[in-house]
Amino acid sequence: MPKEQPFKTAVLWDKKDNDKVACKLCNFRCVIAEGKIGHCAVRKNIDGVLYSMNYHKVCAASADPIEKKPLFHFLPATASYSISAPGCNFQCDFCQNWQISQMAQDSGRIDGQDYPPNQVIEEAKINRCDSIAYTYTEPTIFMELCADCGTLAKQAGLKNIFVSNGYMTPEAVDFASEWLDAINIDLKSFSDDYYKKLCKARLAPVLDTIKYIANNTDIWMELTTLIIPGDNDSDDELKSIADFIAENAGCDTPWHVSRFFPMYKMDSKHPTPAETLERAYEIGKQAGLRYIYIGNLPSVDAESTACYNCGETVISRVGYTVKEINLQDGTCANCKTKIAGRWK
């Protein structure tokens, strides 16, 4: 091995016989032979040591409204400095960021720029952000960069956010829990066949991650389901998702039901009808969920947060813009009912 390795030594892996390594970051739990890469295509075994090949390859960085993550109950009306590195452990046919998430899989390229963690923090402060979001691709597979940025962010008084597919192992959740403050997980379907066919993954590990975070950490969690016509839009499936959230993450967990638009390998599909999203909203309410939001469908009432007790609007939103906040110390200004979340 050369004296100076251009890659970053990976976290969460074990040595095995014959110079193999076992990666413990995500639930594929790859056992990687010397000279080979893992399922995500951005982690490589070099001479019996696992390396991250995307640590020095930041491919996106911008200040976003935190509502874009989407997080509606975590520091509303603040900005989050959002960064990403190439790669993903899923291969979703409908990915909206496929140019960067599938770069390593589709072309073998890992393109980006060296963006030192201290510079990320400085840019976040310059842009008046209250948090750093690790997003656009899957943060689990650039965990080394997340950890270095996350530790510095906490020291600087900033929060840390994951936007994730939820395939991380309990070991990865525990590793991140010291600096990770919030997460939005895509619960893409309640069908294992859907996950296998459209994401090249499995459902059960995602459900396990949601339950693990809800029951073993203090990380604030919100969930998102992109509803695709003909694939995951049946009443039975939507009810199964809503019931799972209520029973395993709690009725205070926000559920974002988002409109699908044709994308990537599913560019011939039709967008999700508004009535499907409205039906999902009602199914969530019937399951006992208190906070359900319709996404990617501008100017609907279900973008705002209502007090589940008195019905008054406590956070008024249009798109990613917060128009008004009527909270007092985390309670409804009208009836004083506690509204679940992490408020500034």
Estimate the share of the chain in helix, then strand, then coil, as percent rounded to the nearest 5: 30, 25, 45
Domain segments of the chain as ranges = 8-52, 60-332
Amino acid 33: pLDDT: 98
**Which parts of the chain sit beneath pLDDT 50?**
1-3
Q: Kindly give, in sequence order, each residue whose CB lies less than 8 Å from that of residue 34, ignoring residues fewer than 6 positions away.
A: 18, 19, 20, 45, 46, 47, 48
pLDDT score recorded for residue 185: 98
- Nearest-angstrom CA–CA distance, 1 and 46: 8
Summarised one tens digit per residue, pLDDT across range 195-218 is 999 999 999 999 999 999 999 999
How far is Cα 327 from Cα 76, in angstroms, rounded to an integer? 11
Q: Which residue(s) pair with 160 in the sheet?
A: 132
Render pLDDT for 30-63 as a digit per residue (tens, 0 to 9).
Answer: 999 999 999 999 999 999 999 999 999 999 999 9
| Cβ–Cβ < 8 Å for 12, 171 | yes
Please tell me whether residue 173 adopts helix, strand or coil conformation. Answer: helix
- Lookup result for tokens 């639930």: 27
Closest C-alpha to 132, from 168, 157, 166, 169: 157
pTM for the structure as a whole: 0.97
In the structure encoding, which two tokens stand for residue 340, read together? 């679940």
CATH fold of 60-332 reads TIM Barrel (3.20.20)
Give the model's pLDDT for residue 5. 62
193: tokens are 């066949």
CA distance 303 to 153: 29
Rounded distance, CA 163 to CA 211, Å?
A: 17
At residue 301, the pLDDT reads 83
pLDDT of residue 4: 52
* Element of type H or E holding 214: helix 204-216
The confidence score (pLDDT) of residue 3 equals 44
The rounded distance, in Å, linking the Cα atoms of 128 and 137 is 23
